[in-house]
Structure 1
């Protein structure tokens, strides 16, 4: 007599035995960031926010559409050549469905053609250079991060409309030069009476700003209207070192951009200073941010930071896109993501169809005089809605 197992094999071969359903294939995602080098803090926050986002958005199951999410983390060290090769490896050797990255604008720009060659989606977070969704863009690129122009437009709104002579201090690479160009364009777009009268570029890893400050002070000291120094800097900020050189002697104000909490903590001795920020944990009022603040504080003993929110936004875009597309097929993802609105810790974001830039709110802030705790740093002046930020479309579609 044949055994049940043997009968089963015969029936299965004949197509008469019901087979077990095939297990759903893992949903593989590459998360590329710059965990080695000056942007280490940014990268670690992005990774933490991304993983927290996946946890929140999947109800702790880490699955979407029945597929287990597998995150393959890679460190590009902020080096463009390494970022490029790591994305190639992720798409080809690791066979990821899509990728997220990276911290450095220079590294992100190197990754763009790789996504196009592989015909797979790359969600850019947190790099901000305008060129990423501008003249270097391709249809496989979606960006949850804000761009340099969004930063600059928000800063222009925060500065107000009065007459101002503005100098800029920025790093001498893609992020810094892009940022300065964006400031000038933003002042024009918002019909501001402010004008950039001097530009100072310093090495990316500069630590001594004495010579730069002297040139800036000399250029501004006799100029009309408010005299404002706008700092555009990634990594350890020169803010404190510039303030130590006493710009107030020449009635020069500093307008620091938003940054990570340890950097913004250096603003505390200067209450009343105003600027614009992409995210500060106390500003957005929505369920996702409430969860992020509570959970991050419980796990890490401090509130979520600037790039934590960005990582969570990237996770939100990924989950929303896969659910909407019902697939990780690239063409279906692109069709789903163009014009897609999705929830983030900052509230709603929308991928603009023309260039796949996430349109989003920004925040005008004032440094607190009486923070109640170590991280109670900023007062909200007002939320600046996306509708008030006229971000131009710069790509050629």
Structure 2
């Protein structure tokens, strides 16, 4: 099977959507996931080779905190889905981690190497730009690819071999739209970074809220910008009814300080995504003025799977966080796929399409038409400030209320 270079990103007319906003610096570093070895094949006396699974994710780099959460969730999910055996369909699941450091070229190189060694399942992308390069590689080589925390809507429907274990940006925006009420005639400003992530946010809000009659504008800052006061001033001068903030990275504290100092938090309704636990203090005293859309926070769901995940992660010395469920769900998908056909990728794909299962967040479904991961979403608020800030659930939106439109598969 040939291993070819990833194609450039496809230009799509997808209604890309806005996203979880504030990332914090967390310490990275994580333990190896999975197990190694071999098992006796069912009905036979010979040892069966393990099923090789590659995790290509941001172990280091700007999104290392998210990568750490993902891997901890994957470990917990693998234990949960295999009932502690590390095996599925009579085969041991052997996991190999590769660090892409948030660099698409490194991710593709790692993916090509894994595929060349016989790996048929690859998971993990933390960065949206990386995911858009890994998906074509999977299709070219006919391997199962399961996107991780990377939320770009362009992954949905990109090809028949690509799935996702987390939410996509459209679900974030639908969650925000549900809390905003009638958008007709309102002025909405999207504040984001000028990146794949940020540009998708603008397109998303235009598609969803603009489609409901809102007048949508944007303020985009270079990802390298550290002085964010000028951008906060631009937002203030636009006089929006709603500010939709979508931000990722270490400059989040500076951003929220600038917005508070320039009076944006007091003069407009501000909504953003609730990021990881270490990010809560960055909002400072302004946190109480923000309405949050939430992909996940520990304790939000109350499901049996969530309880198992939290127990497993904490027992291993970790802390359940924003993207821990994405890893957990990916492991559930891997086990499902291996049980259907450890060496038959087409059988793996078929087994995942249309699959409804109980995940960390509740009932989830992989839509057969475009492999969107349908799932509940949450609305939340922060109580307290600084180190004492904690999220409080306002409302759970069932997956049917936050379902993105079907995207035809590109190939």
The TM-score normalised by the length of structure 1 is 0.85
The aligned counterpart of 1:279 is: 296
The aligned counterpart of 1:233 is: 247
Provide the C-alpha distance between the structure 1 equivalents of 2:95 and 2:141, rounded to a whole number of angstroms: 19
Provide the C-alpha distance between the structure 2 equivalents of 1:91 and 1:187, rounded to a whole number of angstroms: 41
Q: Does 1:146 align with 2:170?
A: no
Provide the C-alpha distance between the structure 2 equivalents of 1:288 and 1:68, rounded to a whole number of angstroms: 22
Q: Does 1:26 align with 2:46?
A: no
Shift of 1:253: 3.2
| Structure-2 change in CA distance of 1:249 and 1:327 (3 Å) | closer
CA contact (8 A) 1:32 1:102 kept: yes
Query: Which moves more between the two structures, 30-39 or 162-171?
Result: 162-171
In the TM superposition, 1:36-47 aligns within 5 A as: 36-47=60-71
| Secondary structure of 1:300's aligned partner | coil
CA contact (8 A) 1:272 1:366 kept: no
Shift of 1:67: 1.2
Q: For structure 1, which runs of at least 5 residues remain unmatched after alignment?
A: 1-19
Aligned CA-pair RMSD = 2.3
The TM-score normalised by the length of structure 2 is 0.83
The aligned counterpart of 1:366 is: 381
Provide the C-alpha distance between the structure 2 equivalents of 1:138 and 1:46, rounded to a whole number of angstroms: 23
| Structure-2 change in CA distance of 1:169 and 1:370 (3 Å) | closer
The CA deviation string for residues 138-180 of structure 1, in whole angstroms up to 9 with x for no partner, is 1000112211111111111123336642211112121111122
Provide the C-alpha distance between the structure 2 equivalents of 1:396 and 1:97, rounded to a whole number of angstroms: 21
Higher radius of gyration, 1 or 2:
1
CA contact (8 A) 1:167 1:229 kept: yes
Provide the C-alpha distance between the structure 2 equivalents of 1:36 and 1:205, rounded to a whole number of angstroms: 18
In the TM superposition, 1:74-153 aligns within 5 A as: 74-93=98-117, 95-134=118-157, 137-153=158-174
The CA deviation string for residues 52-105 of structure 1, in whole angstroms up to 9 with x for no partner, is 111122122111112111111011111111111111111113x11201020111
Provide the C-alpha distance between the structure 2 equivalents of 1:160 and 1:258, rounded to a whole number of angstroms: 20
Q: Does 1:56 align with 2:71?
A: no
The aligned counterpart of 2:305 is: 288
The CA deviation string for residues 316-339 of structure 1, in whole angstroms up to 9 with x for no partner, is 11112322x143411111111110
The aligned counterpart of 1:168 is: 190
In the TM superposition, 1:285-324 aligns within 5 A as: 285-300=302-317, 302=319, 304-323=320-339
Provide the C-alpha distance between the structure 2 equivalents of 1:107 and 1:241, rounded to a whole number of angstroms: 30
Query: Which moves more between the two structures, 266-275 or 210-219?
Result: 266-275
The CA deviation string for residues 274-297 of structure 1, in whole angstroms up to 9 with x for no partner, is 121111112102111012223323
CA contact (8 A) 1:125 1:311 kept: yes
Q: Does 1:377 align with 2:390?
A: yes
Shift of 1:376: 6.2
| Secondary structure of 1:204's aligned partner | coil
Provide the C-alpha distance between the structure 1 equivalents of 2:325 and 2:131, rounded to a whole number of angstroms: 19
Provide the C-alpha distance between the structure 2 equivalents of 1:244 and 1:311, rounded to a whole number of angstroms: 34
In the TM superposition, 1:199-218 aligns within 5 A as: 199-218=218-237
Provide the C-alpha distance between the structure 2 equivalents of 1:274 and 1:362, rounded to a whole number of angstroms: 14
| Secondary structure of 2:48's aligned partner | coil
| Structure-2 change in CA distance of 1:301 and 1:42 (3 Å) | closer
Provide the C-alpha distance between the structure 2 equivalents of 1:281 and 1:60, rounded to a whole number of angstroms: 22
CA contact (8 A) 1:352 1:359 kept: yes
The aligned counterpart of 1:329 is: 344
Provide the C-alpha distance between the structure 2 equivalents of 1:39 and 1:103, rounded to a whole number of angstroms: 7
| Secondary structure of 1:317's aligned partner | helix
Provide the C-alpha distance between the structure 1 equivalents of 2:194 and 2:225, rounded to a whole number of angstroms: 10
Provide the C-alpha distance between the structure 1 equivalents of 2:313 and 2:56, rounded to a whole number of angstroms: 22
Provide the C-alpha distance between the structure 2 equivalents of 1:332 and 1:177, rounded to a whole number of angstroms: 36
CA contact (8 A) 2:56 2:100 kept: yes
The one of the two structures with greater contact order (alpha-carbon pairs below 8 A, sep at least 6) is 2
Provide the C-alpha distance between the structure 1 equivalents of 2:230 and 2:381, rounded to a whole number of angstroms: 29
Provide the C-alpha distance between the structure 1 equivalents of 2:312 and 2:265, rounded to a whole number of angstroms: 45
